[in-house]
Structure 1
Amino acid sequence: MKKNILYQKNQFYNLNLLKKILFSLIIFLVFVTYSCNSEQKILNVGIYTEYPPFSYKEDDKIKGFNIDFLDICLKEIKYKPNYIEIDFDSFDKLKNSEVDILMGGYPIIYKYPDGISLTEPYFDMSLYLISRIDNPIDSIEKLSDKKLILPLYTFSEELVKNVKNLEKLPYKNYSESMKSLENGDTDAVLVEKVLLDIYSLDENKFIKVKVYNQGLTIVLREDSDELRYEFNNTISNLIKTKQYKNLILKWFEEE
């Protein structure tokens, strides 16, 4: 009988102890969640939305590579984005602290006004000239009297505007362009770096030469030293990951 009573007391004690432990755990989780949320600061992002597929509006929602990329960055540095649509040249909004950063097609090589600072490039927009090994072309100047496949009505066309007697052929997709090059239907193909990141280049048949160096950056105020440091650190780590590669495939892989 005494053993029975003692057993019941122990059971009651253990049950109470378990309840206290569970209650303490719940309180701890609530505290941690609240602390994490309270640490998350708001970042006012001035976003230029006329630059697909990097940033654009669809069904009243802002989408694009920039949005996906920035969301990942901000989670790392514990910020929550507040997107504000802007014109490309909204540098005064940045200087007046109406926004904290500008994003949406801002090149790293560009004449910016005073009081502006830039992050490291988060996207490589360099252009490469691809030609056959048996007929190498290693510069824009050597395209005279040649055929070139390139995206028309883009900066690529601006890059070759002074080349004499150049026959420009419209770029359709990477696969068709490389077949045309291999078959001798064109002398060269001008492509963006992102395509070379996605699709393989047979270096036994073709050579590539960088003919234009450019990248996209995030624009900040000159005095945003800490924020710029946080972005640079996150960008340098993120662009090496599979997660970044998946973003590239999501937004730039050709159908």
Structure 2
Amino acid sequence: MNKIALLGALALSVASSFSHASQDSLRIGIEAAYPPFAFKTPDGAISGFDYDIGQALCAEMQVKCQWVEQEFDGLIPSLKVRKVDAVLSSMSITEDRLKSVDFSKKYYHTPGKLAMKEGSQINDPLVDLKGKKVGVQRASTYDRYASDKFEKAGIEVVRYASQNEAFLDLASGRLDATLADIVNIDEGFIKTDTGKGFALVGPDFNDPQYFGRGAGIAVRKGDEANAARISAAIDAIRSNGKYQEVQAKYFDYDIYGQ
């Protein structure tokens, strides 16, 4: 074999090995500070509903999950520069995000809610929260909603890198309220020792213009192959009972939504 033919064969072999590796693994971005969807166990491992669903989806697709942990507001940028192949981190499917990434079908859908001290009465948030401090997670759908609605109504919006930081400031009295996913507030705050004396208050926040059509798994714009196979895997684990098995570990109700 001459040198040109040999180099060509080696190039094909390398390309084939990269292609094979990409088919056998999926790099998934996740923020592990959003219980009960994603959190760290005492030994430093990632756990939670999002993580377990991801593991079930990878098993269904016969690929290995390679988890890449980072803060929420860095997940889409990492996807765009190909540090990850997908984002599975309770990310809502919104028209704004669809301008820059594509999504699988939803894998759950829950409304937003306010958390405040027990006994607080909120009928019209834009009126009743005027002059108060409301915490949101930076770059979340709640941040976008609060920026458009709350700030214009005279409500001070305080942004945090993680929702857990907002919970801590609410508990310490540095916030009057926080706006977040109802399940995250209930399971990750109110039912914990830190959240004693706090409650879910006011109306549900579910305007699809801001909060989308449920949480989906983000892929790069135009990555139809991964979007399709992940969506098919979601259908499969809901049909074979694996989704319900994972859900039962964390919730005693159906969070898939309508």
- Structure 2 vs 1, CA of residues 85 and 159 (structure 1 numbering), >3 Å: closer, same or farther? farther
User: Does residue 45 of structure 1 match 2:39?
Assistant: no
Aligned to 1:152: 115
Q: Which runs of 4+ in 1 moved over 4 A?
A: 37-40, 157-160
State the identity as a percent. 21
Structure 1 residue 230: Cα displacement: 0.4
Identify which of 124, 140, 143 aligns with 2:109.
124
Greater Rg over alpha carbons, structure: 1
- Structure 2 vs 1, CA of residues 102 and 163 (structure 1 numbering), >3 Å: closer, same or farther? same
Structure 1 residue 217: Cα displacement: 0.9
Q: Which amino acid letter does the alignment assign opposite residue 215 of structure 2?
A: L
| Normalised TM-score (structure 1) | 0.51
| Contact 1:116–1:222, Cα closer than 8 Å, also in 2 | yes
Higher relative contact order (CA 8 A, sep 6+): 2
| Contact 2:31–2:69, Cα closer than 8 Å, also in 1 | yes
Matches within 5 A, 1:23-38: none
- Structure 2 vs 1, CA of residues 160 and 230 (structure 1 numbering), >3 Å: closer, same or farther? farther
Q: Which amino acid letter does the alignment assign opposite residue 56 of structure 1?
A: F
Structure 1 residue 100: Cα displacement: 0.6
Aligned to 2:88: 103
Q: Distance in 1 between matches of 2:77 and 2:122?
A: 29
Q: Distance in 2 between matches of 1:161 and 1:71?
A: 39
Q: Which runs of 5+ in 1 are unaligned?
A: 1-36, 128-149, 166-190, 196-208
- Structure 2 vs 1, CA of residues 240 and 109 (structure 1 numbering), >3 Å: closer, same or farther? farther
- SS state at 1:123 partner: coil
Q: Which amino acid letter does the alignment assign opposite residue 236 of structure 1?
A: D
| Normalised TM-score (structure 2) | 0.50
Aligned to 2:143: none
| Contact 1:40–1:80, Cα closer than 8 Å, also in 2 | no
* Root-mean-square deviation (Å): 3.6
- Structure 2 vs 1, CA of residues 110 and 88 (structure 1 numbering), >3 Å: closer, same or farther? farther
1:42-62 C-alpha deviation (Å, 9 max, x unpaired): 111111111111111112100
Aligned to 1:112: 97
Aligned to 1:248: 247
Q: Distance in 2 between matches of 1:221 and 1:106?
A: 14
| Contact 1:103–1:218, Cα closer than 8 Å, also in 2 | yes
